[in-house]
Structure 1
Amino acid sequence: MAKIAQYAAGRDARRASVDTVLARMRAFRSDWPEGDGIAVFNRVYLTVTEELDRCVERGGFPDRRSAVTLQVLFAERCNLSAADTVAAGGRAPACWRPLFQFRRHPGVRPLQFALAGINAHIGHDLALAVVDTCRTLGCRPPDLEGDFDRVGDVLTMLEERIREDLMPGPDLLEIADPLTHLVGSWSLERARDGAWSAARLLWGLRKLPSLAEEFTERLDAGTGLVGRCLLTPLR
């Protein structure tokens, strides 16, 4: 009975954590104008988080506990944390900085904002979230590989939908040509592969904090550079 009660308490705590993340993301919708680049990504990632939550509830992950922990830590590292930092007068991490700098630029289209946010979240945040999850649960990255792959599958499915929803129609073909070229140069699959390699490397460097910190800074800066390219104004 004690084990059952402990499991139920843990499940309730994890459910509360997911609900808190979702509530914050939904609250942001009323804080920013619809065309704001941060708002565009927030709407996209709210859809991702809701879909991941439904997938967990349906039993779509090998280990529910690790999946929810990864989901929450992953979501908390996205623009929620960056937005709090900027609101407090600080600087966002390098990977998120281009999105905050160009959030109101009239020459940047919604699809660019969405992909730049996904790039920051996958290219930088996902690797750190995997390491955070390992430390929280006392496991190693290989123990999370199944959950990592399932998260990636959900993201890939939703990325295709996002591209279809935010891509200009045929009547805007002249504008769409450079946009098609620009967004076609970025691959979520390659970003996922890079995130998994980065997570494994960071885990291997956990007893070498100075090297781990340097690698994290380089990862942040490199991801930010890709994001800046994705936000190239097209008009």
Structure 2
Amino acid sequence: MTTTRHVTAAAVPAPVAAVLARLRALEATLPPSDGIAVFNRVYLSVTEEVVRRLGAGGFQDPAAAGELDAVFARRYLAAVDAAGAGLTVPACWRPLFQLRRHPGVRPLQFALAGINAHIGHDLALAVVDTCRALECEPAALAADFERVGDLLAGMEERIRESLMPGPDLLDIADPLTHLAGSWSLEMARDGAWAAARGLWGLRGLPETAQEFAERLGSGVGLVGRCLLTPLG
């Protein structure tokens, strides 16, 4: 998948530049067939497009959008760091890290499982963390949240096309086609926004909010496990 390599650190807010540096470092060090590497390539491409739009005035509040982008990415990078240190990764990411080298799992499955974990769980928590940092309500981020969602929807089709087998493999790829069609980025995004609003409403009840977030992560992880069903 082609990424936007003309984006330079000088044009990027410092927190987002640090995220780009980590994503690029991972791309350079992970084996291409590693499931984390597959997702990382997708995520790097999306992040570079976000940065391009930040520079082009594509967001209502560029500072807030940049903060959300950085906070969001750090949750994925924290999972990478935890796995590298031999620690338990969050439940939403666990299936992908456990099956990242399984020969029966296709690249598209790795990509969708990563997107599912990151959107389905991490995005909701990132919205709440950003609201705390900026001392604002989720509604203040709603317009730019939708802009990012529209960007992802546009890129999702390209991601699927780039990772699906060619026409000569369509017959044996029927299970993959079924799996790919069973997951919806739009529904995951809508669920993330609803979860973020719910968590924000529970901010005065930290134990309840923690339980909500843990159950959200477990549910997203279950979906990821299904997306990573080995196809042989």
Same fold (TM over 0.5): yes
Counterpart CA distance in 2 for 1:52 and 1:75 is 12
Aligned to 2:194: 197
Aligned 1:132-151 pairs, distance under 5 A: 132-151=129-148
1:64 aligns with 2:72: no
Partner SS state of residue 21, structure 1: helix
Counterpart CA distance in 2 for 1:67 and 1:167 is 31
Aligned 1:2-41 pairs, distance under 5 A: 15-41=13-39
- After superposition, give the CA deviation of every residue in 1:147-174 in whole Å (9 maximum; x if it has no partner): 1101111111111100000000111112
- Computing the radius of gyration from Cα coordinates, the structure with the larger value is 1
- After superposition, give the CA deviation of every residue in 1:113-150 in whole Å (9 maximum; x if it has no partner): 00000000000000001001100100000111001101
Aligned to 2:83: 86
Aligned to 1:49: 47
- After superposition, give the CA deviation of every residue in 1:27-58 in whole Å (9 maximum; x if it has no partner): 01122110000000000000000000101110
- After superposition, give the CA deviation of every residue in 1:88-115 in whole Å (9 maximum; x if it has no partner): 1101101000001110001000000000
Deviation for aligned residue 1:198: 0.1
AA aligned opposite 1:44: V
Deviation for aligned residue 1:72: 0.7
Deviation for aligned residue 1:86: 1.1
Aligned to 2:162: 165
Aligned to 1:225: 222
AA aligned opposite 1:206: R
AA aligned opposite 2:37: A
1:153 aligns with 2:176: no
CA RMSD of aligned residues (A): 1.2
| Count, aligned residues | 223
Counterpart CA distance in 2 for 1:87 and 1:118 is 20
Partner SS state of residue 175, structure 1: coil
**Structure 1: gaps (5+ residues):** 1-11
Aligned to 1:8: none
More deviation, 173-182/100-109: 173-182
Partner SS state of residue 92, structure 2: coil
**Structure 2: gaps (5+ residues):** 1-9
